[in-house]
Homo-oligomer: A and B are copies of this chain.
Amino acid sequence: MGAVHPLLTDTTPLPEGLDARLRDQLTFVIEVDRLKTILRQSPLAAADRRENDAEHSWHLALMVVLLAEHSDEPIDVGHTVKLVLVHDLVEIYAGDTPLYDAEAAHTQQAREEAAADRLFGLLPPDQAREVRALWDEFEARSTPEARFAKAMDRLQPLLLNWMARGGTWKSPGVTADTVRSRKAVIGDASTALWEAGRTLIDEGERRGWSRPSLS
């Protein structure tokens, strides 16, 4: 991917004289500016455009702080925030995979693994391992923190779709039951938030903001 994705700092290299470790950290910090250019499917509530991954990641982090009390299991808020801050970084090179796009989902893992190797490899080795471990934990959902982080990742676009009176609920082939089944992981972390999420999905279906389920 080197030729396709030169580093941002290749165009304007950092000056001589920086400590080598700090130079690697700043190279990474500048490279991840690209997250602001990765568009998601979700429409903003506050403007007539789609959301990008950096905005989304900030929104999730703030939601973790404010909604942590609704986790069914005790969670370390600071650690959960770290998970959401890094959870979409691989999309810088792998691109966003829409929740309702089954084709893209087939190749998602391989694309994201390659992206993780390249992107996290810019960091000093100890931090590359730390960020990789955070991403792996998020993906595996093997901890209460990862389950809550994933719940935020599914609840936040649900709120945006509500505000858009449909949004991606109107994607081709999607019914209210598709939405319910893709959002059910919220319930793995929080009974209360999944109850609220279901209320929004049910009411959205009733209002015709999503396609009715087949049953």
Residues of A whose CB lies within 8 Å of any CB of B are 8-9, 11-12, 14-15, 17-19, 22, 25-26, 28-30, 32-37, 44-47, 51-52, 54-55, 57-59, 61-63, 65-67, 70, 76-79, 81-82, 85-86, 123, 127, 156, 159-160, 162-163, 165, 192-193, 196, 199-200, 203
Contacts and interface: CB of A to CB of B under 8 A. Distances in A.
Contacts of A61: 58, 61, 81, 85
Contacts of A45: 8, 30, 33
A203 B28 CA distance: 20
Contacts of A86: 62, 65
A62 B199 contact: no
Given A78-B78, A127-B66, A200-B15, A33 B22 contact: no
A200 B13 CA distance: 11
Given A8-B46, A33-B45, A54-B55, 18 more contacts: A25-B66, A25-B67, A29-B59, A29-B156, A30-B45, A32-B59, A32-B62, A33-B59, A36-B44, A36-B51, A37-B44, A55-B58, A58-B61, A61-B81, A62-B85, A65-B82, A66-B123, A78-B79
27 contacts: A11-B163, A18-B199, A19-B196, A22-B70, A22-B192, A25-B66, A26-B159, A26-B196, A28-B66, A29-B159, A30-B45, A30-B159, A32-B62, A33-B46, A33-B160, A35-B58, A36-B51, A37-B46, A54-B55, A54-B58, A58-B61, A58-B85, A61-B81, A77-B78, A78-B81, A81-B82, A81-B85
